[in-house]
Amino acid sequence: MSDSEDESIDKQLKIVIIGDGASGKTSLTTRYAQEQFGKQYKQTVGIDFFLRRIVLPGNVNVALQVWDIGGQTLGGGMLDKYLYGAHGVLLVYDITNYSSFENLEDWLVVVRRVFENEGKMPHRALVGNKVDLEHMRTVKLDKHQKFAQENGMSSHFVSAKTGDSVNLCFQKIAAEILGITLTKPELEQHQRVVKADIINYQAKEQTSKQPPPQPKSSLCAIQ
Ligand SMILES: Nc1nc2c(ncn2[C@@H]2O[C@H](COP(=O)(O)OP(=O)(O)OP(=O)(O)O)[C@@H](O)[C@H]2O)c(=O)[nH]1
């Protein structure tokens, strides 16, 4: 296959990210598209766009056009237009903020209204963000699962801060939209992998005449 063929895009998907202000939509998008995270909260006014190319099994080249919608857009006239033509909609909430979860009902009402005339609903994904703050969780797991089930949504937990499961979330959604099955090795490949040095304290306590201990490396995947 030539270089140009290799780079050609088979599918272009429009993915729209909605949910309350400060739930982490911009952080999630920039983590995914640019591998970055900013601690400072800067409200999105209107919309931001990002593009990321991925390859799915079967050598399917996909361009994901990610639309990051400002949380204040709910109730405004532009949201319908932003949603129009979406293949996938991510409904994001903050697991430490119960009202951001409750309000997803209102966001979903808009999604249903926009797509009821189009005949085909986009893929809808329920995304609980900020799992690095698990100790502050206020939205119970069973509430999340019930909401996803009742509304025909796929279910995801991520941390835009640590990057935990962010790639996996987008990869799964893109594959589901295109009817592509991800194999176990592919799923594992998109889990975030943390590399840590194991320090041998016993060896460290030995006299300085001894040769210094060699650090060992280990890999662990966060599920
Ligand atoms: N601990 C933690 N903080 C996060 C995470 N994701 C986002 N934040 C923080 O939450 C705040 C809001 O994040 P944003 O990404 O700006 O939220 P948003 O949903 O885009 O907000 P709007 O633009 O108002 O719609 C920022 O201070 C982020 O640093 C996460 O996974 N963990």
Q: Is the pLDDT of residue 196 over 50?
A: no
Choice between 17 and 10, residue whose per-residue pLDDT is larger: 17
Is 27 a pocket residue for ligand 1 (Cβ < 6 Å)? yes
Separation of alpha carbons 177 and 172, rounded Å = 9
**What pLDDT score was predicted for residue 192?**
57
Whole-prediction pTM value? Answer: 0.84
- Number of domains the chain is built from: 1
**What pLDDT score was predicted for residue 189?**
77
Pocket-testing residue among 17, 36, 39, 41, ligand 1, by greatest number of atoms within 8 A of Cβ? 41
Atom of ligand 1 nearest to the CA of 131: 31
Which stretch, 40-44, 55-59, 156-160, has highest mean pLDDT?
156-160
- State the distance from the centre of ligand 1 to the C-alpha of 204, rounded, in angstroms: 41
Q: Is the pLDDT of residue 9 over 90?
A: no
Q: Is residue 154 part of a domain?
A: yes
Percentage of the chain beyond pLDDT 70 is: 82
Q: Is residue 220 part of a domain?
A: no
Atom of ligand 1 nearest to the CA of 30: 15
Q: Is residue 210 part of a domain?
A: no
Percentage of the chain beyond pLDDT 90 is: 65
Choice between 168 and 39, residue whose per-residue pLDDT is larger: 168
**What pLDDT score was predicted for residue 45?**
82
Q: Is residue 185 part of a domain?
A: yes
Q: Is residue 138 part of a domain?
A: yes
Is 26 a pocket residue for ligand 1 (Cβ < 6 Å)? yes
89-146 residue pLDDT tens? 999 999 999 999 999 999 999 999 999 977 789 999 999 999 999 999 999 999 999 9
Q: Is residue 136 part of a domain?
A: yes
ipTM given for this complex: 0.99
- State the distance from the centre of ligand 1 to the C-alpha of 130, rounded, in angstroms: 8
Q: Is the pLDDT of residue 213 over 80?
A: no
- State the distance from the centre of ligand 1 to the C-alpha of 6, rounded, in angstroms: 36
- State the distance from the centre of ligand 1 to the C-alpha of 163, rounded, in angstroms: 13
Is 135 a pocket residue for ligand 1 (Cβ < 6 Å)? no
Mean pLDDT for all residues in the chain: 85
Token duo for residue 220 = 């662990």
Is 21 a pocket residue for ligand 1 (Cβ < 6 Å)? yes
Q: Is residue 202 part of a domain?
A: no
Pocket-testing residue among 27, 68, 92, 95, ligand 1, by greatest number of atoms within 8 A of Cβ? 27
* Ranges 18-32, 43-57, 193-207: which has the least confidence: 193-207
Going by CA atoms, what residue is nearest to atom 1 of ligand 1? 130
What CATH number is associated with residue 163? Answer: 3.40.50.300
Q: Is residue 125 part of a domain?
A: yes
Range of the domain at 158: 11-189
